[in-house]
Structure 1
């Protein structure tokens, strides 16, 4: 496990999990929202965004978290591990509420991205499993053929994955 692509709905825990995975495998973590948006939520040019990801995935180890389906194949093709956080909408909405309370709608210290919640975003989260998840699964099947794929459907499964990786690391070191 050296190159991990982490995908999931807003509020699913991508930032939390990617930070812990980065620590476990001793790899740099990239939060794509922090790359794609500036402080005023202005989007980066699509070609430049893709080029930055090409540079990131050329590194020997990394954890990159974020959706961005248009550039997902860049990450999936180079990933040796894919983690898809496919949690229920109510769990993701609760995660968003917790994040809002933690950061007060301001800047997220973990990613440098400002927390922006709109009705459009909430509708996207509510419909993610129906509209976006099938597209993500198809992209994983098409572009991550040689990767280990973990489809996580609960916070408990996410914690279990971390424990499994930690145990494997300890065993390998012994």
Structure 2
């Protein structure tokens, strides 16, 4: 399945630091779609990842869905039914946990423009995030895999860094990040 098969409204999900933001940006630039980073809607700008109220987040989330074309990256499974109702395609990323952990540490230590970053905030190494990547990712992976099987939209599962790189190549996508992702 190619990007053309996924249509003009694409959902991207996957574990933390799996490359969702970078892929969403590449698709957005290649296809002229609006990019929506759910972390930016869920958290208050200029804070250390302080969450908005669930009502405010839901209102911002649902307002983004009315557009005719978009690529939305992020999980927030409680609001997934609304996204899937409007989506024309779905991508699930599932890179190995060590890759996600490496990407997290790199984004905290290598300062530069990070796609999907929270405005006015700096990424810093947090033990809670490391524990989340190492621990929660395993149960989330199983849940995402079951969910992926149930989705009837055109969909792509990218379960390795090679599969992700091949998807970029086959679809003529280019990363715009200032540092290389592994």
What TM bracket, shorter-length normalisation? 0.7 to 0.9
- Report the CA distance shift for 1:79/1:137 in structure 2 as closer, same or farther (over 3 A): farther
| Aligned 1:127-166 pairs, distance under 5 A | 127-142=135-150, 144-145=151-152, 147-166=153-172
2:58 corresponds to which of 13, 32, 50: 50
Q: Which moved more, 1:2-11 or 1:71-80?
A: 71-80
Name the structure 2 match of 1:62.
70
| Aligned 1:1-174 pairs, distance under 5 A | 1-38=7-44, 39-40=46-47, 41-103=49-111, 108-113=113-118, 114=121, 115-142=123-150, 144-145=151-152, 147-166=153-172
Answer whether contact 2:35 2:70 (CA < 8 A) is retained.
yes
Deviation at 1:155, TM superposition (A): 2.2
Partner SS for 2:75: coil
Q: What value does the CA root-mean-square deviation take over the aligned residues?
A: 2.1
Question: Partners in 2 of 1:43 and 1:97 — Cα distance?
Answer: 22
Which protein has greater RCO, CA pairs closer than 8 Å, 6+ apart?
A: 2
Partner SS for 2:110: helix
Bigger fraction of residues in helix? 1
Count of aligned pairs between the two proteins: 162
TM-score by length of 2: 0.79
Divergent runs of 4+, >4 A: none
TM-score by length of 1: 0.82
Question: Partners in 2 of 1:138 and 1:46 — Cα distance?
Answer: 26
Gaps of at least 5 residues in structure 1 are 168-174
Question: Partners in 2 of 1:102 and 1:29 — Cα distance?
Answer: 23
Question: Partners in 2 of 1:8 and 1:155 — Cα distance?
Answer: 13
Deviation at 1:103, TM superposition (A): 2.1
Partner SS for 1:166: coil
